[in-house]
């Protein structure tokens, strides 16, 4: 079977400030989404990429991708574009619905992680091929993390509930890799209401599917806030040096 990558890119990027949809913000002069597509397409195992565009932006995203063709190193990777939904979870579900052919391994990769190294993509795909139904790249956390009480109004001091032991916490990244049938079933049985899941493996966990972590990579960080753009530009400049 084939390995496909679904790239949710339908977020508005509110935390990044005003402007174009986050996935189309430039990084080194090239839209973030283009970096993300190139990063996963470089993986030898990947032959199909499904980009999930903003609900009203599929045509614009198609145009941007056509203006930035894949390098020869991407081989014959096919790139399709579909419209996304209101939440990340909905966007991923729409991407899964667009899979064609004999795909049996699916990776889900945030457009907002444009600098993921190809080695991370390959490692996740290989772990799924080796038999793990759900694989997540992760790193230890640098900061101590506190849990707070829910429902505290914004601006008020937040009461602390407890402090999980830091050595047992991991920050998870993408691409998260899955056996296709497992991920499709996880999305079908996920609750539709609310903000949606922030992470696909979380849906698999709810079904009792074992999820394993493999080492993530510092450069697979998510571009969320303005400072992340500064860091991303610096990483790109270092690569080009
Ligand atoms: O909001 P968050 O940082 O978790 O977004 C992670 C990824 O999910 C981003 O690449 C974003 O474009 C995507 N997303 C989406 N559809 C939404 C919300 C977010 O595809 N409705």
Give pLDDT tens digits for 99-152. Answer: 998 999 999 999 999 999 999 999 999 999 999 999 999 999 999 999 999 999
Tell me how far apart the alpha carbons of residues 115 and 141 are, in angstroms, rounded to a whole number.
19
What is the predicted pLDDT for the residue at 196? Answer: 78
Question: How many whole angstroms from its chain centre is CA 134?
Answer: 14
Residue 209 lies in a domain: yes
Count CB-CB contacts under 10 A for residue 238. 9
Please tell me the total count of domains within the chain. 1
Residue 150 lies in a domain: no
Residue 191 lies in a domain: yes
Residue 71 lies in a domain: yes
Contact by Cβ (8 Å): 61, 22: no
Residue 18 has pLDDT above 80, yes or no: no
Residue 147 lies in a domain: no
By residue range, what is the domain housing residue 125? 2-138+171-240
For the Cβ of 110 lying below 6 angstroms from any atom of ligand 1, the answer is: yes
Q: Please identify, by atom number, the ligand 1 atom nearest to the C-alpha of residue 7.
A: 10
Residue 112 lies in a domain: yes
Q: Which CATH number fits the domain that encloses residue 18?
A: 3.90.550.10
Taking the C-alpha atoms of 157, 159, 163 and 169 in order, what is their torsion angle to the nearest 10 degrees? -60
For the Cβ of 21 lying below 6 angstroms from any atom of ligand 1, the answer is: no
Give pLDDT tens digits for 39-74. Answer: 999 999 999 999 999 999 999 999 999 999 998 888
ipTM of the complex: 0.96
Q: Which of 5, 11, 24, 25 to mutate to test the pocket of ligand 1 (most atoms within 8 A of CB)?
A: 11
What is the predicted pLDDT for the residue at 51? Answer: 98
Residue 161 lies in a domain: no
Residue 157 lies in a domain: no
Provide the pLDDT confidence category of residue 19 given band limits of 50, 70 and 90: confident
């Amino acid at each position: 079977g084939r390995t496909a990558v679904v790239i949710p890119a339908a977020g508005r990027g509110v935390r990044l400030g005003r402007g174009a949809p986050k996935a189309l913000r430039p990084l080194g002069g090239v839209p973030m989404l283009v970096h993300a597509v190139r990063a996963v397409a470089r993986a030898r195992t990947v032959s199909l990429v499904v980009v999930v565009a903003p609900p009203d932006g599929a045509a614009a995203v198609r145009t941007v991708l056509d203006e930035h063709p894949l390098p020869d190193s991407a081989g014959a990777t096919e790139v399709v574009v579909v419209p996304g939904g209101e939440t990340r979870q909905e966007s991923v579900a729409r991407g899964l619905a667009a899979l064609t052919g004999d795909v049996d391994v699916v990776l889900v990769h945030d457009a907002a992680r444009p600098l993921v190294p190809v080695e991370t993509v390959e490692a996740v795909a290989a772990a799924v091929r080796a038999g793990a139904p759900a694989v997540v790249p992760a790193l230890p956390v640098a900061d101590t993390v506190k849990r707070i009480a829910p429902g505290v109004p914004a601006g008020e001091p937040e009461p602390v509930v407890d402090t999980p032991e830091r050595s047992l916490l991991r920050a998870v990244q993408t691409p998260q890799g899955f056996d296709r049938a497992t991920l499709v079933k996880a999305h079908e049985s996920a609750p539709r209401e609310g903000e949606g899941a922030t992470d696909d493996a979380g849906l698999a966990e709810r079904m009792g599917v074992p999820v394993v972590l493999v080492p993530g990579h510092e450069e697979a960080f998510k571009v969320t806030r303005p400072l992340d753009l500064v860091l991303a530009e610096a990483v790109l400049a270092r690569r080009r040096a």
